[in-house]
Structure 1
Amino acid sequence: MLAETIFSAVSAAGLGIAAVTAYRKRFLAATRIAAYSLVPIGLVLTGAVEWAVDTAFSPTAWLGFGLLGGAWLLFMSTRAVERRRGGTRKERRAATKAAQREAVAPAASAPSLGPGSAGQSKAAQPKAKPKAAGSGDDFSDIEAILKKHGI
């Protein structure tokens, strides 16, 4: 009963402000204010205020809201873990297969060996020698970078 009275008073005050605004020849703003001020009385007439008051003071309603919040937290945590892992198992398996198919050639990441190599044509550049398996030359790229910088 008290909520309905307050909502009706708010609605009447809003309509009064809309009338003053229309008197000042600001009809668009007056129409908008009138629309906002009719919402509280509409809520009273539909019974939404009584429902909201009953819900606010109902322990079972709050238990239901708590369960919905808990379900939402569980759902969001599983989504976060799934994103951190890189998707579902099926998506990860597809990504691994795609990465294996598109493997980068070993010579594609070889550093340039000197200041003149950028201006040379492809024919004048020395070709990279293929490495023998287990040759023990694992640090050749690092040595080339250090030599390039004079270290």
Structure 2
Amino acid sequence: MIAETVCSAVSVAGLGIAAVTAYRKRFLAAARLAAYSLVPLGLVMTGAVQWVVDTAFSPTAWAGFGVLGAAWLMFMGTRAVERRSGGTRKERRAAARAERRGAVAPDASAPSLGPATRTAPVAQPKPTARSGAADDFSDIEAILKKHGI
């Protein structure tokens, strides 16, 4: 009863503001305000406000929301476990069957490089141990020499 009264009062106040806005020759804004003002009144007339009030103050409704939340948590938990374990049992069985069958052409996955054309790497002399600030740059010098810089 109180919610319906509040919604009706909001609608009347909004329509009053819309009338003042129309008096100031701002008809588009006045029409928009009137439309917004009629929404609470329409909600009261359809019974939506009574339904919301009954739901908000009903312990049964809150228990129902709790059950829905628990179901959602269980659903998300099972999905997380499923992702971690690598899918459902059905998916794991299908993957195992595919593994047992083997590849159609097992040699096809081996790279075909042809005869060996690479030469043995040239041995680089090891940098000598130096003392002081030159020690800090010995690693950098080795990398630069390795790349031919």
CA 89–30 in structure 1, closer or farther in 2 if over 3 Å, else same: farther
Q: Partners of 1:36 and 1:8 in 2: how far apart?
A: 13
Q: TM (normalized to structure 2)?
A: 0.57
What corresponds to 1:56 in structure 2?
56
Query: Is 1:37 matched with 2:37?
Result: yes
Shift of 1:36: 3.2
What corresponds to 2:116 in structure 1?
126
Unaligned runs of 5+ in 1: 110-121, 128-146
What corresponds to 1:79 in structure 2?
79
CA 30–126 in structure 1, closer or farther in 2 if over 3 Å, else same: farther
Q: Partners of 1:95 and 1:35 in 2: how far apart?
A: 60
Q: Mean alpha-carbon deviation: is it higher for 41-50 or for 99-108?
A: 99-108
Percent of counterpart pairs with the same letter? 63
CA 16–97 in structure 1, closer or farther in 2 if over 3 Å, else same: farther
Alignment of 1:1-151 (within 5 A): 1-19=1-19, 20=21, 23-25=25-27, 27=28, 31-98=31-98, 101=102, 108=110, 125-126=115-116
Q: Partners of 1:24 and 1:64 in 2: how far apart?
A: 48
User: Larger C-alpha radius of gyration, 1 or 2?
Assistant: 2
Q: Partners of 1:71 and 1:126 in 2: how far apart?
A: 62
Which deviations, in whole Å up to 9, do the C-alpha atoms of 1:69-127 show, x marking residues without a partner?
11111111112222222321222333344466459869857xxxxxxxxxxxx65x518
Shift of 1:24: 2.2
SS for the counterpart of 2:87 is: coil
